Structure 1
Amino acid sequence: IYVFLTRDGTHRVKVVEHGGWPCWVDDSTLYFHRRSEDQWISVYKATFPKDKPVSTESVTIQRVTPPGLHAFTPATSPGNHKFIAVATRRPNSSFRHIELFDTVKNEFIELTRHVSPTTHHLNPFISPDSARVGYHKCRGESNGAKATQLLLENVKSPVPNLSLFRMYGSFPSFSPAGDRIAYVDFPGVYVVNRDGSNLRQVFHLNAFGSAWDPVRKGIVYTSAGPEFSSVSTEVDIVSINVDDVEQSNYKRLTIDGKNNAFPSPSPDGKRIVFRSGRSGHKNLYIMDAIEGETSWIERLTDGPWTDTMCNWSPDGDWIAFSSDRHDPGSGSFELYMIHPNGTGLRRLLRSGSSGRVNHPSFRPDGKLLVFTTDYGGISAEPISNPHHYQPYGEIFTMKLDGSDLKRLTHNSYEDGTPTWAPLYINPVDVEWPRKGECAFEDCHWLNEMPGRGIKLVGPWGLAKPQCGVF
């Protein structure tokens, strides 16, 4: 936690080494939260000295809330030394609630649990006169407004002639013609027309990542298995024929099951680069795109580190990937490029201590890379938001020489797994096709289609179709 002068931003001084969500009571007192040594998230008070310079050594830190529950996101009001407001998670509840903490008696006063025990209440704030407490609340129901469900939500782009969309689902990729999108909605892989029509689940097992074959029509590659797993976890590369409605519409391309993931085909459709943990470390390999490793396989990178999230350039000359080879095991990932023959390795972007640069993707003309990174820091503390996989990530682009770095997104959520469309899309929202108002939920066993190996799905990838509920 830092303090500085509001008039010009000068005299920037670190006052707390480990903490977040600071809020002032007076010019020499602030409250904040941190995870304590006993692992409970608690609120602390920092008191500044009046007779010597302010620093982490001179500031007095005192724990305020006791162990036994999580207390976080403290709120104060000017000159109020009697109580603070906090959000809590108690062991006997699955919901956040707002409580006051009496700093004189050192006791909690519950506020929202008595009124709405099974709803989340979060991020409290206190009026300047200390008379009222406000907070955010999850309603758990519609607010009565007419909401639209979007396949592609247009986001204002800071770059001229570049349209930017937030998409429903994860790991999206466009077909070579740009008319279809493959994406992951755990636990399956789905394909949908770009206008939101003809949504189909094409792979029913847990998978992550998607990439279209640039030559063979209707072929999508993915990683079948659990995400965020160790090198020995069973994950394999599969190719899916999304136009084959029979049960045997996919082919397993790797056979060792040692965390083979993030496939990316060469522009001629003959080879696939992917990461694998078969050596005990996650490195990059190249194999035959049609028959897989039973035909041939070769190693591209070799070392006691993690090379992952690879993407083949449209001209075939480069493979971009994310790696922690600069500091193996640190959790810090930086952006690299290498030729498919193993030469020309170079680093494009440094991420700093524990920083991350992930999921690079070449623009169709091969002149730019888009990727997600925490290079710009975070815009809100993760604890203030609902759960998302990784509490970092904004979308950036850069040239292949590492120049012209541009930030495209700026918000408090993870923006990840970016991809390019092969053609310009007008910057307007794309809605799912409208459904009727029938609220009839059909029998689940009627969704099974004998002999076809598929289940009907609604526009949110549900195995049980529902209409009139979106």
Structure 2
Amino acid sequence: MRPQKPLCSFFFFFFFFFFFSLILTLYPAAADHEGPSSGTSIVFATTGRSRYAFDIYTVPTVDPPTNANELRITDGHSVNFNGHFPSPTSSSILSIIPNQTLINLIYVTERNGSSNIYLDAIYYDSPDHTRRRSALQVPIRVQIPLLGSEPSIGRISMKDRPSLVGEYLVYVSTHEDSGVPRTSWAAVYSTQLETGLTRRLTPYGVADLSPAVSPSGVWTAVASFGERGWSGEVEELSTDIYVFLTRNGSNRVKVVEHGGWPSWADESTLYFHRRSDDGWWSVYRAILPEIGAVSVGTVVIQRVTPPGLHVFTPAASTANRSFIAVATRRPDSEFRHIELFDVDSNEFRYVTRPIAPQNHHFNPFISPDSTRVGYHKCRGDSNGGKPENLLLENIQSPVPDISLFRVDGSFPSFSPEGDRIAYVSFPGLYVVNRDGSNRREVFTGTAFSSGWDPKRKGVVYTAVGPIFATESTKVDIISINVDDDKLGYKKLTTGGENNAFPSASPDGKLLVFRSGRSGHKNLYIMDAVDGEMGGIHRLTEGPWTDTMCNWSPDGDWIVFASDRENPGSGSFELYMIHPNGTGLRQLVQSGSAGRTNHPWFSPDGKTIVFTSDYSAVSAEPISNPHHYGPYGDIFTIRSDGSEIRRMTHNAYEDGTPTWGPTYMRAVDVERPNDGPQCSFEDCHWLKISRNQGVEVGPLGFTEAQCGR
């Protein structure tokens, strides 16, 4: 096993975080640091992410659920999900929580530009038993980050489905490169909280998801790809369930073929979900032998929930084995709800539907004494949380002189000076100052992609018409002078044969773009001012799709995405070519059926940012239904094809990156809320009609998976 660098000491980090939080409370401007004196910025899109507003809630299992007894546990501000109720005796860290604790909670939270695992508590601390939350917010809140962000060594990662067992935190992390294109980086780790010592429990060459620790803490079950890897599934991963010793990952054995999201009821009983042969997602039970060797052949598998509705993400009760908590999608509802299922009587009992019938609820978990069930949902504008819609959200970057921002839109691009950003918020095109001020719509029609003229101030190029359509679809390229009070535009292409993705040469004289005018989408170059009327010539030719092109700052290269290795397959890779048509070479090999798209040169031309499923999936798609695709991260690569670096780690679909010439400070830019929070649908493939069409999404991936 490779040696692991210890994380920072828990207690050191706790006291550091306490005093750092005090500084930020007393001096908020301290957080608004200037960043490096020189540097650059990458801005990208994450479909719908800036409108997510998840908090964790709980209700009693014994009383009828009502609005009065539903309790929001988390802070009403961050994106909080995938909770776990630890045992009161799980760890000595619980001793720092005040006496008379009512609820302890471990959960995943996204804040300050990265994800982490936090411990929260709700406790009674006053004579009249007034209920208050704890969090580490001076003076009355204590909220404990259980893992450091490790900014000094760049170990940014997704952290998912945590469990606290004794002194150990068990969770998923993506900080280690699998070394193989289109192979998941997700692995299970344990961290001893008092020492910070971290151990990888997943073997190298394998990807594990959704860990669950047995009641004794001895065993951990995971949904695993094993050694077969990811083949591109986004509906059901068809993982297998493995069990291994929590202390070191040894004694690993496969116990279930075709199963995910395991949950222990006792040391020999596991619940899990899978899509059944009849098309319904259902919960199953695996009974492991108490004596003798455990293998797939010795485990008894029983279907627990009936057909006629989708049931998934089970949570077993270790104190009361007569019921489990599940998420359901019923034929009479468009929403996902939490229900309790009696495994003896085979009866369901509603939990969340009486409280919020038109709200999605996700990933239940049960308290150690089985008296409470928890879940996460959108807090909304009226659920005691803060409505927030960030136009530009800072993301923790693994590179000190590159700042990362998520834009609430798609296809961003920087002005040559780096002071403004153009982006698409379907259907319109917008321009905003890089600090988020002076946002205005400059084109009201359906537009996609954006790019600035490097010489003519205020000129922005875009394509207008349906996105990602057939070769003959009417799409044209226009230029807009966004500094013109009248906001007129000039049409540069005339045929309308799906002309899109314009990118100007550094001298501002030419535009490279893709067009379907030959019956195939290939690259062309035309005059930047007069368009086709000023001259046009073909750059690439073939029965494939060349698209998403970007011109290098020195003018020597054009980078683009292409499916030329397997036309029509949906698999895209990156290529570079000289503007005169010579020097074609492959830059990124995506792996079998991989998708690598939307390349953009850095201001110095030495590096290219792009979006890709190069690191595959990081979580089970069924547990993240509010994402178009549970894969797709931002990467950079040197223009010579070396040094691929992963910039983002999450279970979302990141795409359409751009690279700007200035360093944007790590400040989140909030704008007035102008739309509903969490206005997404459940997975399209969970609808009762099973034959769903496949559409291509705005980030270049497919929308037949999960989307709004």
1:274 shift after superposition: 1.8
The residue number in structure 2 matching 1:446 is none
1:133 has 2:373 as partner: yes
**What secondary structure, in the 3-state scheme, does the structure 1 residue paired with 2:660 have?**
coil
Q: 1:295 to 1:151 in 2, by over 3 A?
A: same
Are the aligned partners of 2:624 and 2:630 in contact in 1 as well (CA < 8 Å)? no
The residue number in structure 2 matching 1:331 is 570
Are the aligned partners of 2:312 and 2:328 in contact in 1 as well (CA < 8 Å)? yes
* Deviates most, 21-30 or 283-292: 21-30
* Deviates most, 218-227 or 108-117: 108-117
CA distance in 2, matches of 1:192, 1:325: 36
Are the aligned partners of 2:255 and 2:294 in contact in 1 as well (CA < 8 Å)? no
1:383 has 2:615 as partner: no
1:62 shift after superposition: 5.0
CA distance in 2, matches of 1:62, 1:431: 50
Q: 1:284 to 1:143 in 2, by over 3 A?
A: same
1:399 shift after superposition: 0.6
CA distance in 1, matches of 2:478, 2:472: 18
Are the aligned partners of 2:434 and 2:664 in contact in 1 as well (CA < 8 Å)? no
The residue number in structure 2 matching 1:416 is 655
The residue number in structure 1 matching 2:452 is 212
1:54 has 2:295 as partner: yes
* Deviates most, 401-410 or 19-28: 19-28
Q: Which stretches in structure 2 are left out of the alignment for 5+ residues?
A: 1-222, 225-241, 674-708
Q: 1:367 to 1:256 in 2, by over 3 A?
A: same
1:225 has 2:465 as partner: yes
Within 5 A, what are the aligned runs for 1:82-231? 82-142=322-382, 144=384, 149-231=389-471
* Deviates most, 13-22 or 306-315: 13-22
The residue number in structure 1 matching 2:506 is 267
Q: Which stretches in structure 1 are left out of the alignment for 5+ residues?
A: 436-470
Within 5 A, what are the aligned runs for 1:264-413? 264-385=503-624, 387-413=626-652
Length-normalised TM-score, structure 2: 0.56
Q: 1:200 to 1:41 in 2, by over 3 A?
A: same
CA distance in 1, matches of 2:285, 2:547: 42
- Which amino acid in 2 is paired with 1:360? P
CA distance in 2, matches of 1:340, 1:62: 62
Q: 1:263 to 1:130 in 2, by over 3 A?
A: same
CA distance in 2, matches of 1:336, 1:255: 27
1:86 shift after superposition: 1.5
- Which amino acid in 1 is paired with 2:325? A
Higher relative contact order (CA 8 A, sep 6+): 2
Q: 1:183 to 1:53 in 2, by over 3 A?
A: same
Are the aligned partners of 1:195 and 1:431 in contact in 2 as well (CA < 8 Å)? no
- Which amino acid in 2 is paired with 1:195? D
CA distance in 1, matches of 2:301, 2:577: 49
The residue number in structure 2 matching 1:74 is 314
Are the aligned partners of 2:264 and 2:318 in contact in 1 as well (CA < 8 Å)? yes
**What secondary structure, in the 3-state scheme, does the structure 2 residue paired with 1:376 have?**
strand
Are the aligned partners of 1:284 and 1:299 in contact in 2 as well (CA < 8 Å)? yes
CA distance in 1, matches of 2:436, 2:482: 16
1:240 shift after superposition: 1.6
Q: 1:282 to 1:69 in 2, by over 3 A?
A: farther
> Alpha-carbon deviations, 1:217-245, whole Å to 9, x = none?
11111121222333333222221221223
CA distance in 1, matches of 2:277, 2:513: 40
1:4 shift after superposition: 5.2
1:425 shift after superposition: 2.2
Length-normalised TM-score, structure 1: 0.82
CA distance in 1, matches of 2:468, 2:260: 27
Q: 1:108 to 1:305 in 2, by over 3 A?
A: farther
Are the aligned partners of 1:119 and 1:140 in contact in 2 as well (CA < 8 Å)? no
- Which amino acid in 1 is paired with 2:660? A
- Which amino acid in 1 is paired with 2:489? Y
The residue number in structure 2 matching 1:32 is 272
CA distance in 2, matches of 1:412, 1:310: 27
1:296 shift after superposition: 2.9
Q: 1:382 to 1:291 in 2, by over 3 A?
A: farther
- Which amino acid in 2 is paired with 1:31? Y
1:48 shift after superposition: 5.8
1:378 shift after superposition: 2.8
CA distance in 1, matches of 2:256, 2:509: 55
CA distance in 1, matches of 2:470, 2:283: 35
1:385 shift after superposition: 3.5
The residue number in structure 2 matching 1:252 is 491
- Which amino acid in 1 is paired with 2:401? N
**What secondary structure, in the 3-state scheme, does the structure 1 residue paired with 2:622 have?**
helix
- Which amino acid in 2 is paired with 1:406? R
Q: 1:14 to 1:153 in 2, by over 3 A?
A: same
* Deviates most, 319-328 or 37-46: 37-46
> Alpha-carbon deviations, 1:376-412, whole Å to 9, x = none?
2333334334534433222111111221222222122
